[in-house]
Structure 1
Amino acid sequence: MEVLLLALLLCAGSSVAQDLWTANMDIIAELQKLKHMDERIQKLEETLTKVMSENEALKTLVQDSQSKLETVQKESEAKKVAFSAGLLASGSKQTGPTNNLTILEYKKVFSNVGSAYDSNTGIFTAPIKGAYYFRFYAHCHGKITMAVSLVKNGVTQCSVYAWKPVSNGNGSNGVILTLEIGDQIYTQLWKNTWVYDDPESYTSFSGFLIFPL
């Protein structure tokens, strides 16, 4: 009887030990799974951090590219400078004489690329540094003196002149000037002289940028 009890106890102990061993193995396996999962999460976080960093770098690169593109576009637009205008927007009349030098205001604007010419003042203002070409024409009737000068910042550059011609008088002149940003160019009627214009635009003023400097 004692032998039988001992045998039963040994069997029960063996079963319990087997169960404990199996439970421990399951726990170890689960712990290993958790460890692998933690490693995968860590790698995923590292990858995500790297992607976010690359995304910020790409965003900065795109912003820099857009800024450079806008700068290039603005510079390209600034290089497009040209205008041409006749003295009268409509009708026919003599302009002058006056007792002072008078800036001629050309109202009939044919083109004004870059908007550097102001028809309200007759003044062209250089938007960028560069070499510019200007040309102007003046017309008068017979027995009337006509004199017009091209002026840069208050200094005469070249002129046209006709002293009381027998019939109509005409004159034209042109010059290439190196201008800084903000330099002003205009034509000026001498005192006690006249110019004439009508829809044919005999008296006109034109200029354009040859190349920037």
Structure 2
Amino acid sequence: MSLFQVILLTCVMSLMVKGHQSCSRNAGLMKSIQYQLKLVEDNDGKCDCKGRGSESGKVAFMAKNSADLQNTPSKSVVVYNIVITNIGNGYDSSSGIFFAPSNGVYTFSWTVLTHSGKYFHTYLALNGKLIARNYTGAKGVADHASGSQNVVIEVKKDDKVFIKVQDGYTGKFMFGNSWSTFSGYKL
């Protein structure tokens, strides 16, 4: 017998002993107990507490790089490995892919900081399809260069959104140490 069932049985027994009290108050309490029991039964006795403390339907993430990326091959997914925010648990820091937890219009942004004399071509992909590009180049520049891009797109549940190194290019250098970021949220 589960702890919930023991508590329920205790409440029912208490109601039977105090049967002389107001029937309407007892009936309301009984309905409440029955409702709570049904919720537990519908979830196979498990409490689904995930997501509590945040408003349902909200989705937002922000991730950054801990280390520099150098000579990243063409078509590679750029993995932003340190998660700062992940409301809705859509971003996977091991793969660099955002898996949309729900349908909607989303905005995404990414920033790349490169070293003097280097470059890093990237694009945002929706299910592998190129949506927007970002070129950060510091060739012939004595200092670093930063490039950012923003997109607003309609996304379906379970769609994949990620940043890739542009086809035909090697990502020569992208600063880590929190300089390069990837973020998104549902409008």
Distance 1:139 1:65, change over 3 A: same
Consecutive unaligned residues in structure 1, runs of 5 or more: 1-50
1:113 alignment counterpart: 87
2:102 alignment counterpart: 128
**Normalising by the residue count of structure 1, what TM-score does the alignment of the two structures yield?**
0.60
**Whole-angstrom CA distance in 1 between matches of 2:91 and 2:140:** 32
Asked which structure has the greater CA Rg, the reply is 1
Q: 1:158 aligns with which of 132, 143, 146?
A: 132
* Superposition CA RMSD, Å: 3.1
1:107 Cα offset (Å): 0.9
1:59 Cα offset (Å): 7.3
2:179 alignment counterpart: 202
Consecutive unaligned residues in structure 2, runs of 5 or more: 1-23
1:121 Cα offset (Å): 0.2
2:65 alignment counterpart: 87
* RCO comparison, higher one (Cα < 8 Å, 6+): 2
**Normalising by the residue count of structure 2, what TM-score does the alignment of the two structures yield?**
0.67
Q: Does 1:189 align with 2:165?
A: yes
Q: Higher strand fraction: Structure 1 or Structure 2?
A: 2
How many residue pairs end up in the alignment?
149
Q: Higher helix fraction: Structure 1 or Structure 2?
A: 1
1:18 alignment counterpart: none
| Deviant stretches of 4+, over 3 Å | 57-67, 73-78
Aligned to 1:62, the other structure's residue is in SS state: helix
Deviations 1:49-89 (A, max 9, x none): xx9xx89x95798369958xx99x9798541211101122x
1:118 Cα offset (Å): 0.2
Q: 1:147 aligns with which of 113, 121, 124?
A: 121
1:165 Cα offset (Å): 4.6
Identity of aligned residues (%): 26
